Structure 1
Amino acid sequence: MQKHSIIDESHAFWDEVVLPLLAARFPAETAQMAAGVFGYGSEVLRLDDVYSADHHFGLRVNVLLPEELMNTRGAAIEDALAEGLPSAWRGRELREGYTRTKGVALGSLEHHLRSTIGLDAPPNSYSQWLSIPEEDVMHITAGEVWHDPSGRFSAVREALAGYYPEEVRLRRLAHWCRYFSGMGVYALKRALLRENELYASTTFARSLRWGVQMAFLLDRQYYPYDKWLATMFHRLPRMGARLAAIVEEAPKLSTSWERKLDLLHQMSDVLDQAMVEDGLIAPHPRYRVSATSGYRLLESAYAELIRKCPVEIRGVVPQWEQVHWEGFHSEFVAGVGLEDWRRMLLLEECE
């Protein structure tokens, strides 16, 4: 059962305050809106806790309009919301968002999609699927939508919730096999041989993340934004249990470098075995660990997987990291006063 969250209070706020106001003043526009809590923030996954409340937290309703309607009627709707919404409700302050009305974040549907998945409609080709940063899919599919008479936004959510086409999943899986093995395990072994702890630290952390990303792909679940990883990883139906001991021990400061490398080797075997079980790669004999290059097992899997991918996407590198959001965020920050920005960051002058 999902725990109580600010999302529940926001739903009541929408039903009792926001929807009646909008329906009375803008009935035609309200019929084309999508509204709920979605996008960014731990609350969209009901993972908000005591620490979530120290910034950008409070009652929140996300409202999307078709772009043309937002351009022609958005300002009038925002004016009405700014005038008609209370400053607090049931003891809750209204959340500051990326628009000028507290408690309600009004934006265009197309802009929301472009700033997260980089597209303004559901992907319709393998290449478009690969262009979406995986971490951003949840910013479309997570949360709740309470109002969407036109069904436009819900259609995008449903298309993405159906998960990757198998060809796309294999291409992403091949990508992480290559990175985990060739730029992870191999690189970590060389860093340790050269006593380069800075490189060892960065490549180890990346390797662990890449291995976990493969676990999500193998269980056909989207990899989340990193801050939600610990919770979401342990919910994986198959790979979570198989890799839990490795994922818990490996990052500990008390775990030696040699042990960290050995745990990544063990992770290689677990991931490889799952791919054999799933028929993604052929059964094979066990291999020895190289004294100079580590255990590059998953690069063997990479070679098998990439051959199964359609020719048109073999050379397409899957997008990852929040590149589309960063473009929007940069423009937003550039338009905010420095004092307001520092206040959002909880930066207070020392006495």
Structure 2
Amino acid sequence: MTAFTPARELGRGFHTDVIRPLLGTTPYAAGLLGWGSDVLGYDTQRSTDHGWGPRLHVFVDDSDVERVKELVEQNLPDDYRGHPVRFGWDTQHPVHHITVTTVADWLVDLLGFDATTDLSTANWLITPQQKLLGVVAGAVYADDGRLQPIRDTLRWYPDDVWIWMLACQWSRIAQEEPFVQRTFEVGDELGSRILAARLARDVMRLALLIDRTYAPYSKWLGTAFSRLDHPDKLDQALAAAVSAQDQVDREHALVTAYELVARRHNELGVTDHVDPTPRQFHERPATVLDAGRFAEACVTRVQDSRLRELELVGSIDQFADNTDLLSNPAAYRRLITVFEK
């Protein structure tokens, strides 16, 4: 088996050896962007068995698109460093994956709107985080100045949008935190375990939000979370919660995780300090954080009156997790009315 070359490295070489000589003096930008584990830098040897090979986006002026497309089409090699340049998967017929386009057209195709001209609050909230990662996380091999400004703009949410999303994520936890004990109490051990896993995932996504890090889709959510700094051992608390064999250990691990992520929240300084100490759930025998207190603290800091009037349903990723929806701009943008008051 040949040594594995990450796609980012393969793309860099392909750009240097093949694409850049073709373009000559044409102004352009190029990078490995958009969809795929390789854009995130998560590809491994396993990735090469399915839809993997040299892949680039080349961004030029609108007047140059057709000419450069033809130039690329006529001059690509059959192979590069032992990898077919034209490849397919499943029902995808083998083709090359060098996309020549303008930045604006690419953004419309990837996100569903032109983020260079219309970054409304609704557009921020309706766009899945994985899609935003497709713009900001990939490797860039050349840039004449047309690509970096939009990557900078989309690097992270505006403060009001971010704080409102923090409120929504805390609200998700508040809705279910007492149910781990309650389901166990009525003999539903499986339900208790499933709720613990759901809450662990919500804490992971909250930790990413606090860290100002976009969450990738489910396959790589744990990987992204593991690459955050965890000196407080939040990762260990969540691992203990999902592996616990009894309700007492499960609840203890979860409330430990709640307190740790609550302390991270307080360290941000974006809200007044909220007591991170777990407490009893009313008169019932369940220990919780009472996460709604953190949601309320966030909402009071949101300046945008339109956001303050919205129900705390969250951004598209916070209330939907269907892959066919989140991967298709034509589908998820039909839900934008949720955010248009």
TM-score range, shorter chain: 0.7 to 0.9
Correspondences of 1:137-148 after superposition (within 5 Å): 137-148=132-143
Counterpart contact for 1:115–1:328, Cα < 8 Å? no
The answer on whether the counterparts of 1:249 and 1:255 sit within 8 Å (CA) in structure 2 is: no
Structure 2 vs 1, CA of residues 245 and 231 (structure 1 numbering), >3 Å: closer, same or farther?
same
Whole-angstrom CA distance in 1 between matches of 2:8 and 2:19: 14
Identify unmatched segments of 5+ residues in structure 1.
Answer: 331-351
2:80 corresponds, among 72, 89, 95, to 89
SS in 1 for 2:316: coil
Take 1:138 and 1:47, find their aligned partners in 2: how far apart are those partners? 13
With normalisation by structure 1, the TM-score equals 0.76
Would the aligned equivalents of 1:118 and 1:324 in 2 still touch at CA under 8 Å? no
Query: Please, which runs of 5 or more residues in structure 2 have no aligned partner?
Result: 333-341
Query: 1:140 and 1:226, CA in 2 relative to 1: closer, same or farther beyond 3 A?
Result: same
Partner of 2:306: 312
CA distance in 2, matches of 1:15, 1:110: 24
Is 1:158 matched up with 2:160?
no
Q: Cα–Cα, structure 1 residues 117 and 201, in superposed 2: closer, same or farther, change >3 Å?
A: farther
Distance 1:52 1:215 in 2: 28
**2-structure distance, mates of 1:246, 1:178:** 20
Which residue of the partner structure matches residue 103 of structure 2? 109
Task: In structure 2, give the amino acid aligned to 1:276.
Answer: N
C-alpha spacing 1:57/1:80, structure 2 compared with 1 (3 Å): same
SS at match of 1:96: strand
Please tell me the residue identity of whatever aligns with 1:52: S
1:174, CA displacement in angstroms?
0.5
Once the 2 structures are TM-superposed, how far is the Cα of residue 148 of structure 1 from its aligned partner?
Answer: 2.7
- Cα deviation digits, residues 237-274 of structure 1 (max 9, x gap): 3x56430211332333x643543333222211112222
Alignment deviations for residues 8-61 of structure 1 (CA, whole Å, 9 cap, x no partner)? 2221211221222243xxx6xx42x43111122222233211211111111222
TM-score scaled by length of structure 2: 0.78
1:295 aligns with 2:292: no
CA contact (8 A) 1:268 1:297 kept: no
Alignment map for 1:191-340 (pairs within 5 Å)? 191-196=183-188, 199-200=191-192, 202-237=194-229, 239=230, 241-252=232-243, 255-279=245-269, 280-284=271-275, 286-290=277-281, 291=284, 295-310=288-303, 311-314=305-308, 315=310, 317-320=314-317, 321=321, 323=325, 325-327=327-329
Q: What residue identity is the alignment partner of 1:251?
A: V
State the Cα deviation string for residues 278-331 of structure 1 (Å, max 9, x = none).
33233438453233665252111111211221222121632215646324699x
Q: Residue 53 of structure 1: which of 34, 48, 53 is its match? A: 48
Does the residue aligned with 1:308 lie in a helix, a strand or coil? coil
In 2, distance between residues paired with 1:205 and 1:108?
42
Q: CA RMSD in A?
A: 3.2
Residue identity (%): 24
State how far apart, in whole Å, the 1-side matches of 2:285 and 2:104 are.
51
Tell me how far 1:185 sits from its aligned partner.
1.7
Task: Please list the CA deviations of residues 128-182 of structure 1 after superposition, one character each: whole Å capped at 9, or x if unmatched.
Answer: 3333322322111112222232x23221101122x22322221111110000221
SS in 1 for 2:261: helix
Once the 2 structures are TM-superposed, how far is the Cα of residue 92 of structure 1 from its aligned partner? Answer: 1.9
